[in-house]
A and B are shown apart, each in its own frame.
Chain A
Amino acid sequence: MLRHRIRLLCFASLASVALAASVAPAAAADAYDPWPGLVQDIFNNRPMNDGSDVIGIEMPARAEDAAIVPVTLRTKLSPGDNRRIKTITLVIDQNPAPMAAKFTLGPDANVTEISTRVRVNNYTDVHAVAELSDGKLYVTKVYVKASGGCSAPAVKDAEEAKNRLGQMRYRQFARPEQGPASNIREAQIMIGHPNNSGLQMDQVTHLYIPAFFINEVQLWQDDSPVLAMEGGISISEDPNIRFTYVSNGAKHFRAEAKDTDGHVFQHEWNADASGT
């Protein structure tokens, strides 16, 4: 009888300790919305206009693999609209480094679709903020659930990621609407890079593993800018950008990427071919 009561008390006390220690932060995390702070930090508190007619974000409702979550940004401006999208900033609110990427669209490239892959650490809003040629910011958002199971926003095969460092691939895709006369193109650039976040602590040395990631990508057709990306650690390993643009008849497609260690990776391809 006494033994039975001890057990109950133990359970009760352990449970209450655990409850006291945990409920507050968990509840706070759910209630806390980082977006207003992010608007201040990233956009200098500039007014945000409804962007649902300007830009769309496509992401799976649940991050299947925390390390590789596909995201597509699609412009929604009607052909008659005389405004142009200058930049699109992708923000993953609950990630350790929320600003995932800022894309700058080439003034003459008419980029209408950009797909890349990001890390998603948590249940989070994902915002896309478009800056238009009218000087205003337009925002839209989706909500993404974190992945379950044992996936993590970390490199899967660390050796292979090192081996691929600096490799670049370029590919042209056939678009369904792309007749012989069409100059709409869809292309993809892949850059081999581990994109380490620098947020993990070495358990032995208790030092943070240094951040090491691609922070700048620029793409041109001949000398005309198509697309540029300022990247952060929320971009998946081996950064991958697939995008549409309008060909200006250029013979060459050129890419330059820089990382946080000062490496510069450059490559040039025949514009209509695919290659490494």
Chain B
Amino acid sequence: MAHGISVIALLLMLGASTIARAQEPELPVSEVAPGIFVHIGVTALMTRENEGAIANVGFIVGDSAVAVIDTGGSVREGRQLLAAVRKHTDKPIRYVINTHAHPDHSFGNAAFVDPGASFVGHKNLPRALTMRGQFYLDGFRRTMGDALIDEVRLVSPTVLVEDTLKLDLGGRSLTLKAWPPAHSDNDLTVFDERTKTLFAGDLVFLTHIPVVDGSLKGWLDALDELAAIPAERVVPGHGAVSKWPAALADERRYLNALAADVRALIASGKPITVAAETAAASERSRWQLFDDYNARNATAAFSEMEWE
């Protein structure tokens, strides 16, 4: 018995985190195209119970290296994603790409900090993390609890994308594109030339109501350019992997309805509170989490469109 305890103590001294890391189960991923692995997040708000695992995350395996695209909503999810990478390949993770600053996509970053890995993001991502990071940590502590949030570290990218950037994973070229403000003001997409797969981040939502946290007008403007990307399939930020560009249709309809309703309310002199209650009501039955986000989208859209 005494012997057993000392072994336990020794292992604890070696570091609880090492043990926790080794024991972390793999995040379930599916190979949606050769070398492209995706975990589909649950359509929900981030909670203690779902460990923040609500966004789609994934990785791309090249001939010599791996790129991880988004790290999930907690370090625990990040470690599970890391375990999934290690199950499928022993190639090094050279790039950790954040599609934007939102916590469901970036709270897992700390799991991937490693001298061999570069963090990659939109040129505005560091600013967004600075302006919002502490608020996110405080806010999600309330809904996810201390155990998950205590270990979250805001990891800023060191490789910044101004316009477009090509990354080479060894015989596999990824094209990264930094977008003008749309879903957020730091949206980045990743296009895999080999399989014609687009990781769209939150520029594309399916099932989960789109969330406007950048510019509704900018997002509407971006849709045509997005649709022109010669992809065969899209990994959206939320929702199922889908055919491209057909996957854009629902989101386009919602954003257009929201913009039209908000513009009409502004023109008729209605206050912003009426927009929160009524705009895009026709879309209510078509989306999950509508009541969690639509009023907010309408509020943001109203304050943007007022300046037209």
Smallest beta-carbon distance B8→chain A, Å: 6
**Does A66 sit within 8 A of B, measured CB to CB?**
yes
Determine whether the beta carbon of A238 is less than 8 Å from that of B303. Answer: yes
**Does B296 sit within 8 A of A, measured CB to CB?**
yes
Please give the residue numbers on chain B whose beta carbons come within 8 Å of chain A beta carbons, in ascending order. Answer: 4, 7-8, 11-12, 16, 19-20, 23, 45-46, 102-104, 124, 126-127, 129-136, 138-139, 141-143, 146-147, 150, 154, 156, 181, 184-185, 211, 213-215, 218, 269, 271-273, 276, 292-293, 295-296, 299-300, 303-304, 306-307
* Given known A66-B135, A121-B135, contact A190–B307 (CB-CB < 8 A): yes
Across the interface, name the chain B residue whose C-beta is closest to A205: B130
Interchain Cβ contacts under 8 Å between A and B, 22 examples: A5-B4, A10-B16, A18-B147, A26-B146, A60-B273, A64-B295, A117-B303, A121-B135, A121-B138, A148-B45, A149-B293, A150-B102, A150-B213, A152-B136, A156-B184, A156-B214, A157-B218, A158-B131, A160-B215, A173-B269, A202-B130, A240-B303
Smallest beta-carbon distance B134→chain A, Å: 7
Question: For residue B143, which residues in chain A have a CB less than 8 angstroms away from its CB?
Answer: 148
Question: For residue B271, which residues in chain A have a CB less than 8 angstroms away from its CB?
Answer: 70, 72, 115, 242
Q: How far is the CA of A26 from the CA of B178 in the complex (A)?
A: 38
B213 in complex: contacting residue of A123, A156, A192, CB < 8 Å: A156
Q: How many residues of chain A are within 8 Å of chain B by beta carbon?
A: 61
How many pairs of residues, A versus B, come closer than 8 Å at their CB atoms? Answer: 150
Question: For residue A160, which residues in chain B have a CB less than 8 angstroms away from its CB?
Answer: 181, 215
Q: Most B CB atoms within 10 A — which of A146, A147, A148, A192?
A: A148
Question: For residue A121, which residues in chain B have a CB less than 8 angstroms away from its CB?
Answer: 135, 138
Those of A152-188 within 8 Å (CB) of chain B: 152-160, 164, 167, 169, 171, 173-174
**Does A200 sit within 8 A of B, measured CB to CB?**
yes
Q: How far is the CA of A150 from the CA of B276 in the complex (A)?
A: 17
* Given known A21-B146, A148-B45, A149-B211, contact A164–B11 (CB-CB < 8 A): no
